[in-house]
A = this chain, B = another copy of it.
Amino acid sequence: MNVHGKHYRTIWLDENNPRQLQIIDQRSLPHRFLIETLHSVDDVIGAIADMHVRGAGLIGTAGGFGVYLACLEAQRKSADLFIESVILDASRLAASRPTAVNLQWAVNRVLDSLKTFIGSPDDFIKTALDTAQAIADEDAEFCRRIGQHGKKLIEDISLKKNGQTVNVLTHCNAGWLAFVDFGTATAPIYAAFEQGIDIHVWVDETRPRNQGASLTAWELGQHGVPYTVVTDNAGGHLMQHGMVDMVITGTDRTTYTGDVANKIGTYLKALAAKDNDIPFYVALPSSTFDWTLRDGIREIPIEQRDGDEVRYIQGLHEGEIKTILLTPIDSRAANYAFDVTPARLISALITERGICSASAEGIFSLYPEKRR
């Protein structure tokens, strides 16, 4: 999407030197827009581990391109140990964010493309690059399709409201910054905006890491989509008073029955949407389905992160990014990263193949090959 009026993806080959990558260093958003060049596998590992890049789609793609850089490095070191060197680096890449399922998947996909291949290191390198590029393009294309399917839902509301502003509420950042382009929850918003539909987004700030206030607000603002940041507490009041027409969120993991694990607080918004008869949609690429899980609340383990993410917060003070303490210095704080929204609260899922109900029946109707 656009930044300062120019189109960007979140990761790309350096135009001037295709032996290195460029990314947006997301740690300093929304206060600074920094492009970082990654020269080596170690640079990629660092960027993933230290969250210069984040979000399932983007982490996976970075891992894929990382294997390409591993091939370049292996060629420089020794032609004899080429494959051994690549495999070693690939396992280091895959371990840089242990819980990121997409990362292991992408690294393995590039490795697999090399396994069945016989040729010179140059051929290997080209194959690795082509596969990594395919992963990036597929990620963007899946998000684009989610946008096209979801746009129809926004269009319908716009028609019912005779062209009056459609107000969409979203939680966390399931935006293009979490993928290669378009995003998931934001893709229908961008698609509707491009089509000239009058749209406005309520952005939940999304404590404790404030991905809404920092990332979603920034990307919508850069692309020109009208938005307003609200606290996570505000959504219920907005819904009670007719100020929200629909909710769209992303998901980190989805059972085949339609339960959704997403950023902590999503469940509370789904309850409020249900209580006020407002449609609640979840947008996702099918890679987030976990085909083995039936009951999200009982079966999806919820990551507990450091309480300091609740006790401290980061922001801009006199031009510098500073971290301040919010609680008593000796305060305990708990930090559950996700919650599970049961399928009964979800109006529909928006996938790259189309829209379906949040139920085994609905999901298998779009993904019949997954039916056991």
Q: Which residues on the B side are within 8 Å of A315 (C-beta)?
A: 312-313, 324-326
A57 proximal to B (CB < 8 A): no
Q: A214-B327, A217-B327, A339-B236 are in contact. Are A310 and B207 (CB under 8 A)?
A: no
Q: How far is the CA of A64 from the CA of B233 in the complex (A)?
A: 34
Q: Which of A285-332 contact B (CB under 8 A)?
A: 297, 302, 307, 310-317, 322-332
Q: Which of A131-159 contact B (CB under 8 A)?
A: none
**A265 and B328 within 8 A (CB):** no
Neighbour of A213 across the interface among B213, B227, B234, B327, CB < 8 A:
B327
**A265 and B233 within 8 A (CB):** yes
- Say which size band chain A's interface belongs to: 35 or more
A114 proximal to B (CB < 8 A): no
Task: Please indicate which of the listed interface residues A206, A328, A335 has the most CB atoms of chain B within 10 Å of its own CB.
Answer: A328
A164 proximal to B (CB < 8 A): no
Q: How far is the CA of A316 from the CA of B297 in the complex (A)?
A: 37
**B326 and A210 within 8 A (CB):** yes
Q: How far is the CA of A229 from the CA of B313 in the complex (A)?
A: 14
Q: How far is the CA of A241 from the CA of B267 in the complex (A)?
A: 13
A333 proximal to B (CB < 8 A): yes
A205 proximal to B (CB < 8 A): yes
Q: Which of A10-18, A83-91, A268-276, A357-365 interfaces with chain B?
A: A268-276
A165 proximal to B (CB < 8 A): no
Query: Which residue of chain B is the closest to A315 with respect to CB atoms?
Result: B324
Q: How far is the CA of A324 from the CA of B227 in the complex (A)?
A: 21
Least CB distance, A303 to chain B, in whole angstroms: 11
A208 proximal to B (CB < 8 A): yes
Q: A236-B268, A324-B322 are in contact. Are A231 and B208 (CB under 8 A)?
A: yes
**B328 and A218 within 8 A (CB):** yes
Q: How far is the CA of A363 from the CA of B184 in the complex (A)?
A: 48
Q: Which of A188-240 contact B (CB under 8 A)?
A: 202, 205-208, 210, 213-214, 217-218, 221, 227-238, 240
**B240 and A265 within 8 A (CB):** no
